[in-house]
A and B are shown apart, each in its own frame.
Chain A
Amino acid sequence: MISVNGVSVSLGGRRVVEDLTFALAAGEFAALTGPNGAGKSTALKALAGVAAVETGDVQIDGAPAGGLNALARARRVAWLPQARPVAWNLRVEDVVSLGRFAEAPAAYDGMGAEGRAAVDAALAKADAAHLAGRAFQALSGGEQARVHLARLLASPAPCLLLDEPCAVLDIAHQLSLMETLAAEAASGRAVLVVLHDLELAARYCQRVIVMDAGRVVADGAPGEALSAPLLQRVFGVQRSPTGQLIRRPR
Chain B
Amino acid sequence: MSRLTIFLVLISAALFAVSALVGTAPISLGDSLAALAGQDDAATRAILWEIRLPRAAAAFAVGAALGLSGAGLQGLLQNPLAEPGVLGVSAFAALGAVIAIFFGLAAVSSFAVPVAAILGAGAATVLLVAAAMRGAGIVTLLLIGIGLSSFAGALMSLALNMAPNPYSLADLVNWMMGSVANRSWADIAMAAPALAIGAALVLRAGPGLRALSLGDETAASLGADPKRTRLLVIGGTSLLAGASVATAGTIGFVGIVAPHVMRPFVGHDPQRLLVPSALFAGIVLLAADIAIRVLPLQQELKLGVAAALVGGPVFIWIAARLGKSSP
Measured CB to CB, the residues of A under 8 A from B are: 45, 48-50, 70-71, 73-75, 77-79, 81, 83-91, 94-95, 98-99, 101-102, 105-107, 135
Contact = CB atoms under 8 A, between A and B. Distances in A.
A173 to B, nearest CB: 21
A206 B226 CA distance: 37
Contact of B220 (A49, A94, A105, A135): A49
Interface of B: 78, 207-208, 210-215, 217-218, 220-225, 263, 267-272, 327
Given A70-B225, A107-B210, A87 B78 contact: yes
Nearest to A91: B267
A182 to B, nearest CB: 23
Main SS at interface, chain B: loop
Contacts of A106: 207
B214 A84 contact: yes
B223 A88 contact: no
Contacts of B223: 70-71, 73-75, 101-102
Contacts of A88: 78, 213, 263, 268-270, 327
A91 to B, nearest CB: 4
Contacts of A75: 223
A77 B220 CA distance: 12
Contacts of A73: 221, 223
Among A79, A89, A135, find the residue whose CB has the most chain B CB atoms closer than 10 A.
A89
Contact of A81 (B211, B218, B327): B218
A134 B193 CA distance: 41
Given A85-B215, A98-B211, A90 B268 contact: yes
Contacts of B224: 70, 101, 105
A91 B267 CA distance: 6
B295 to A, nearest CB: 37
Contacts of B78: 87-88
8 contacts: A81-B221, A84-B215, A87-B215, A88-B213, A88-B269, A90-B213, A98-B211, A101-B224
Given A107-B269, A107-B271, A135-B268, A86 B222 contact: no
Contacts of A77: 221
Contacts of B222: 74, 98-99, 101-102
Contacts of B221: 48-50, 73-74, 77-79, 81
B218 A107 contact: no
Contacts of A71: 223
Given A70-B225, A94-B267, A107 B215 contact: no
A79 B218 contact: yes
A8 B50 CA distance: 68
